[in-house]
Amino acid sequence: MPDKRYIDIKVIDGGWQMDAGQQPTECSDLYCIAQDIKHAIMESGLARLLVAERNPALRADVLVQVEQLAELDTRLIPGTATATESAVGHIDLTATAYDYGDLTISV
């Protein structure tokens, strides 16, 4: 089994996921990349901005900003990020990571 390049504490619903011994569980590689991008989107305020915006053209602009933010992550292949709004205020982002393939994020 290859070594894990990226390791982080796994966050589920805003809190650490704990194992049976009450120790934080780890996530690695593709899951870690997806988690980092999701947190970057949430911390940027773009998700909140999308909820507050009513103008369809400006909503589309926010989705483009989400794509651009995701593509700042050097682990993603440039031009592969696509953000869509599946429901009001719910962002789905798909992208491709260099070494790990496709990822999907819901914010």
Predicted pLDDT at 101: 95
Identify the structural domains of the chain with CATH numbers, from first to last: 7-106 (3.10.450)
| CA 100 from centre of chain | 15
Predicted pLDDT at 51: 86
DSSP 30: H
Predicted pLDDT at 2: 63
Characterize the bridge pairing of strands 101-106 and 90-97. antiparallel
pLDDT in tens, 9-62: 999 888 899 999 999 999 999 999 999 999 999 999 998 998 888 899 999 999
Predicted pLDDT at 87: 83
Q: Could you tell me what percentage of the chain is helix, strand and coil, using 3-state DSSP and rounding each to the nearest 5?
A: 35, 30, 35
CB 102 within 8 A of CB 95: yes
More confident residue, 7 or 64: 64
